[in-house]
Structure 1
C-alpha cells in the first residue's frame, strides 16, 4: 500500500457513510463496554495522519495513546515484523526460547536508567508489566503492601484497578479489588497551589506529606513497593514538583522498599528523554514499560536491578505470549528507529513548538488553567473562567469539535478536564501546527 499523504482532508462528514455502516455492525457484534474516542474506522495510517474508510485524513495527536511513537507502520518496524512472521510466529519462550527475546532484554538493560547489573522479563501489556513488577517486589522483600498515588492509572486488571485512582470508567462495578493496596497524596503543583503555594513549588515537602501518610497507614516494614508514574498519564499528565521523586526514592532506599516507576506511557522518548525518570536523575529499582516499546505490537517489560529481578523462583514469571517473537522484532526495530533518527531530540522539538503555540493561546484565554508536560506529552487543563474549577464539559466539546474538524485529540484527568496531546514523533511541524491551530479555533468558537 502506498504511503499515506501527509495532509488533513475531510472527504465526508465525520463520521462518513462507511464508518456509519461499520458502527451498525459493531453494535451487533462488539460488547458495549468497549468504547472508542472517535466514530471513524481506520483504514491506514502513517507519519502524522490516520486515514479512515471514507477517505478522511485526520491529524494524529494521539498515537494510539502513546503507542505509535515512531510513526504508524514505520518502515523499519514493518519490515522487521514481516521478516519475523515469515520465520515463525510463536514457539513460547518458556518452551523453546529464541534470540529476539534475549536481544530485547539486552537493549532494555542498556537503555533504562540505573547502574549495575540489570535483568528484564517480557510480557504483553502495561497492566501485566505492573502486576509482575509488584510480584517481583513482593518476592524480593517478603512484604505484601503496595502504595500508589492519587490520580494514578496503572491498568484494568484486578490488581491494577486497585492501584488506579479513578473510579469511572475504570473501577466502578468491578470490585472487590486486590487487598494490601494503599494510596498516598501526589504532588499536583497546579492544584496544590490553590491551598498551599509552598507545597506546590517544593517537591521535597510534597514528598514528606506522602511519606508521613505511608508511615502512618502502612509502616515501612510492611511495604513491599511504592509505584508511581514519573508523569501521570490518565490522571492528567501531572508533572510532580522538582524534588518529589528523588525524595520519595531516597526514603524507599533507606527502608528497603522497592521503588517501581511506571513508564508505560512516558517511556521510549515520549518526554524528550528515553525515559522520564532521567529528567530528575533518578534510578528506579524496577521500571514497567509497554506502549511505545514495539510501535503497536503487544509487548511489555519489567526491567530492574538484577538482585531484585532474580528474586522470584524459577518459572514464577512468564506467560504464553510474553515476548512474542514478532513483537520482539518490532521492538528492536523501534529502538533502532528512535536512536538512528534522533527521535529523542525530535520529542523536545515537538514540545517546544507545542508549548509556544498553546502558550500564546493560554495568554489570551483564561479557560486554560495550565499547560504542562514534557516533550511530546503535553496537557491542557481547562477550567471555568476566572478560577480553577475543572470544566469537563468544555473539554468534551473542544475534543468533539477537533474530531469533527479532522484532528485526533484525547482527554484525561481525574476531573475529566484535560486535553492530552501525544503526537507521533514523526509528525511534521506543519501538520502539528495545523492541528494546534484547529484546537485554538475550536476553543475560540465555544462560548465562555
Structure 2
C-alpha cells in the first residue's frame, strides 16, 4: 500500500474522533507524524483535502465510516467521460436524453423529468430539484443525474425530503441565506429524521449541504445520503421553491402549499433580508428541561442556568435532535457560579481579543479552565474549555465549546440575565 493511501486511511479513522472546532490542520499532521514515525510535509495537500472533505460532509469510502444504512434505490454513476469523449458523443447524437425542453437554466417554470420526476427545476446541467412519489406519497428530491447509455439516470448524490422536511427547509431559507452570506459554518437547520441543511466550505468555496446524519458516541456525524450545492445552484433552488411547493401540495400525501416568507433572500453576496428565524422545530426549546434561563446561541447550542446533581451550574452546551427532542452531546462545559462570575467580568476583554484576533489572550476561570481565542482555518472563536496537565503544560480536553463571533455575541449580551438567574439560585 502506498504512503498516500496509508495516510488517507489513517485520516479517515482519526477525523471523526476530533473536535475540529479546536483542532488545527497542523495538530492533525503532528498526530499523524507521531503515529507513523515519519515527516508528512510533502503530504500537506492530501491532509488538507481529507479535512476539507470531512468538514463538508463528503463521506470517504472507508470501511465502517457510518452505520449500515438502507440501500439507496439509486446507483453510483460510472466514471466520467473525458471532454473529448463527451463532445464526440454529443456530435454523434447520443448525449443525455432529457424529455424537457431546457436543462441548463432554472429561470423558467417547472418541466417534467428527468427520470421519474413529475416536475423539476434544473439547478445545473446534471442536477435537479424535482417532485416524485414514493409509496404513494409526494416528496421533493434534490439529486444529481448522470448519462447512462444516453439516458439521464439518477445518481447516489442527493437527498429526498418528505413534505414536512421540505416545509421546514423552505421556512428556513432566510436563515440559511443569512448564514451563507456570513460564511457561518457553525449554522445548521434540523429538517427532521436526522436530516440537516448546513453551510460548509470545501477548498475555500462555500456550499449549502443537504445531508442525512447519524449518531455516534453522542455526536451527529454526516452520512452518505446528501448533496452539497454551490451558491448558484442553491439560489436556483430558492427561486423555484414556491412552484415546487405548489406542485408538491397536489401530490398524494403532500401538505398544502405553505405561505412563504414575505421576503425570501436569494442573494449570497450581502445581508439576507427578512429576519433570522431558523425555522427549526426545536430552535426555541430548552436543552435542560429544568433550566430557569435558556439562551439560544444557535439552533442546537444553549447557555442555560440549571442544576446538576443538586448543584447550580451554568451549562454552555451543544445538543442534537433525538426522537423529536434535544439530547445532550459531550461538547460543552458546566461552570459553577464563581467560574461564571469570572467569565462575566472578563467578557469585555474577551470580546476585544476576539475582535483583534489575539490568539495569545487567556482568561483563567479556574486552575484548569480557560477562555481563549482559537483560530481554525482563518475562523476565530471564543474557546471555553477544560485542560489537563501533560508533561508540565496544560493541554486541552474535549470538555468545552468553541463559539463563533455571533454565538459569543449572543452569550455576552445575555450574561446579565444569566447572572440574575444565578443570583436567584
- Please tell me the TM-score bracket, short chain as reference: under 0.3
The structure number with the bigger radius of gyration is 2
Greater relative contact order structure (CA < 8 Å, 6+ sep): 1
TM-score computed with the length of structure 2 as normaliser: 0.25
Of Structure 1 and Structure 2, the greater strand share is in 2
Of Structure 1 and Structure 2, the greater helix share is in 1
TM-score computed with the length of structure 1 as normaliser: 0.24
